[in-house]
Amino acid sequence: MTATVPPYRRIAEELRRRIIAGELTPGDRVPSTRRLAGDFGVAIATATKALAVLRQQGCTVVRPGVGTVVAPRATVAPIRAADGELSRERIVRVATAVADAHGLGELSMRRVAAELGVATMSLYRHVPGKDDLILLMIDAALGEERLPAVRPAGWRAGLIISTTLLWRLFRRHPWLAPAMSLTRPQPAPNGLLLVEWVLETLAPTRLDRRQRLYVHILLFSFARGIATALEPEAEALRETGVGSDEWMGSLAPPAALSTEALPRFAELVESDDFDLDLDLLFRFGLARLLDGLDGWLNRTG
């Protein structure tokens, strides 16, 4: 007698069929869990498990602010009876995908277990708790890119490399910056490697050990400060569908203040030539910070 196929696997097979048939092509958005639940008459948790199977098979990926989409080179290997051995690395990978797509506030051990299609208690054999999971996620995210094996000439070039790498990771994972503490830094090994890079980059300068660490904290705080806008913006986009450019374009001086009271602001609004691009803001701010550090290092007396 043939065993009954679980509903979540039937959904995964149907979506996989659509990918094979070309009905869903690379980059196309996959129906949301709510849409799947309605279309197939199942619970949200069942639809979530179906999407988790597709991700584990390489058919789909999660894009922050967009949702689940067909992978650039979606694989269509048959879905196995078992989804693979549960491991710490697999738990961290799925937890990161949840946080990327839905924000850190939606992350829970239960949510990760549902994505993996396992019992919640089974996660605790690999990860003691949510705080430990977040630390592992931070370390994994910071380890996604490596600093160059050959250090560039000059402290400025080295600091641009390390701070820009950090910004890219913050950009890729909008939850990462808010998750990292300034006053109580988490002991993530890959984070410590980044600190070491900055300290070594500044070693040839006249700065003492304490000052070098202050420079690292300053640059980290700058990148993290701008990056803390990423997760709220992604959440606002998911909820309203209105992008930051569109929202900024709707701004006008408060009715209580005339354009005479705010002539410069009114001029800026009327010109309509300012875009609040966070990447441009990051590059502008980093350059100005390094200009200031350069002037300080070259100061005589």
User: The CATH number of the domain where 169 resides is what?
Assistant: 1.10.357.10
Given 103, 124, 142, the domain boundary residue is: 142
Contacts of 96 (CB under 8 A, 6+ apart): 137, 140, 141, 173
The confidence score (pLDDT) of residue 36 equals 87
| Co-location of 172 and 296 in the same domain | yes
Residue 56's domain is classified under what CATH number?
1.10.10.60
Q: Let me know if residue 231 belongs to a domain.
A: yes
- Given CA atoms 102, 278, 160, 294 in this order, what sign does their dihedral have? negative
| Co-location of 194 and 224 in the same domain | yes
Q: Let me know if residue 78 belongs to a domain.
A: no
DSSP state of 81: S
The confidence score (pLDDT) of residue 300 equals 47
| Co-location of 119 and 238 in the same domain | no
The confidence score (pLDDT) of residue 254 equals 60
Given 120, 142, 164, the domain boundary residue is: 142
| Co-location of 187 and 215 in the same domain | yes
The confidence score (pLDDT) of residue 155 equals 94
| Co-location of 177 and 287 in the same domain | yes
The secondary structure element, H or E, covering residue 63 is: strand 60-63
Residue 25 CA to its chain's centroid (Å) = 24
The confidence score (pLDDT) of residue 248 equals 54
Mean pLDDT in order along the chain per 10 residues (301 residues): 64 82 81 84 82 79 75 49 70 90 87 88 92 94 89 93 94 92 86 93 93 95 90 67 56 59 68 71 93 84 40
The confidence score (pLDDT) of residue 215 equals 95
Instruction: Please spell the DSSP secondary structure of 6-62, one letter per residue.
Output: PHHHHHHHHHHHHHHHTSS-TTPBPPPHHHHHHHHT--HHHHHHHHHHHHHTTSEEE
| Co-location of 128 and 160 in the same domain | no
The confidence score (pLDDT) of residue 57 equals 72
Taking the CA of residue 232 as centre, how many other CA atoms within 13 Å lie in the half-sphere pointing to its CB?
7
Q: Let me know if residue 188 belongs to a domain.
A: yes
| Co-location of 96 and 185 in the same domain | no
The confidence score (pLDDT) of residue 79 equals 38
| Co-location of 155 and 294 in the same domain | yes
Contact 126, 118 (CB under 8 A): no
Domain limits for position 167: 145-242+259-301
Q: Let me know if residue 209 belongs to a domain.
A: yes
Residue positions counted in the chain: 301
Total number of domains in the chain: 2
